[in-house]
Amino acid sequence: MNILFISAGRRVELVQEFIKIIRSKNIQSRVICADMNEFAPALFFADHSYTIPAINSPEYIPALLKICIDEQVKLIIPTIDTELNIVLQHQNFFKSIGSEVLISSEETLTISNNKMETYRFFKSLGLKTPESYSSGEEREFPYPIFIKPISGSASINTFKVKDHKELEFLKAYIGDYIVQEFIGGEEYTIDVFCDFKGNPIYITPRIRLATRSGEVLKTRINHEVELEKQVLKIIQALKPKGPMTIQAIRKDTDQEYYFIEINARFGGGCPLSMKAGANSAEALFSLLQGQNVDSEYRAAKNGLVFLRFDQSIMLEQRADGSYGQN
């Protein structure tokens, strides 16, 4: 049951959680990581690693297919938004060599990758969400407001805008944008994990106490019945396969939940939910073995606080020119 993480990047904690389960449960599996950057940190924590072409290269899919054949990969786990569609388009190639892809449906990816589609989806479910418009649908919102790329991720080119002059400049700078009303309040990330039929196993809300470049630095597990009830509506509509993260804000003025974004993949902070008890890595191995996994929405221990920090590793150059830890 070898697992391949692609675009592994800085997902060291995620890789470590999978390796921990493999060793503690004596599972016959290896964790393989691939990334276009030979110095991506996660590569040096995997059982085996590969440097591969960029996602937009015609050699990208052939390189992944070769790794899957050579390493007898059972499951491919994408980790960034930009690779989801291309991997989905080629998933039958991977199936033909015995490798499955942990990825949701095309409809789910369309809704999650386009923020106007996300906005319309939340509206269709009767959920609260910041009022939004994209190019050609101009509306007036009181300042401050937010502007960001319609298909962006990791908070890249996301700006809080204070006046009309700034807004016009940023529209031209970003290009394909979405403008949203500002919602002030407590920010949440909800880590979701479902079985291969889209049935929810874990729902773990975390309050985002501090973030950097869109990734959480400090967070607290915070189970809330009403929030989880609304998240279930999203899950039942999308039927995601495996992981999904949802962003929401509890508005200061009315204490209502406003849903912002969906990412149909493991989020950057998902290892924290695993550590707290919602162990989706362990559940995934059980699913791969054909076992049923009971739903435990609140498996994560409530109230736990996680603090994240930077850490370094030292690499030495080997005789063959490659690098590794001493």
CATH 3.40.50.720 fits 184-307, yes or no: no
The whole-number pLDDT of residue 263 equals 95
- Could you tell me if 6 and 75 are in contact, meaning their C-beta atoms sit under 8 angstroms apart? no
- Could you tell me if 64 and 34 are in contact, meaning their C-beta atoms sit under 8 angstroms apart? yes
The whole-number pLDDT of residue 214 equals 78
Q: What is the pTM of this model?
A: 0.94
- 184-307 and 2-103 share a CATH fold: no
Query: Which residues are CB-contacts of 78 (< 8 A; sequence separation ≥ 6)?
Result: 6, 7, 84, 87, 101, 102, 103, 265
The whole-number pLDDT of residue 12 equals 97
Instruction: Provide the residue type at 233 as one letter.
Output: K
Which conformational region is residue 151 in: left (phi greater than 0), alpha (psi within -120 to 50 degrees), or beta?
A: alpha
Residue with tokens 């016959």: 28
Listing DSSP states for 128-165 in one string gives: ----EEETT-----PSSEEEEETT--TTTT-EEE-SHH
Q: Where are the domains of the chain?
A: 2-103, 132-181, 184-307
2-103 to CATH, choices 3.50.50.60, 3.60.20.10, 3.90.650.10, 3.40.50.20: 3.40.50.20
Structure tokens at 147: 């502007």
- Residue-wise pLDDT tens for the chain (326 aa)? 999 999 999 999 999 999 999 999 999 999 999 999 999 999 999 999 999 999 999 999 999 999 999 999 999 999 999 999 999 999 999 999 999 999 999 999 999 999 999 999 999 999 999 999 998 888 888 999 999 999 877 678 889 999 999 999 999 999 899 999 999 999 999 999 999 999 999 999 999 999 987 789 999 999 999 999 999 999 999 999 999 999 999 999 999 999 999 999 999 999 999 999 999 999 999 999 999 898 988 999 999 999 999 999 999 999 988 899 87
Structure tokens at 55: 């996602």
The whole-number pLDDT of residue 154 equals 67
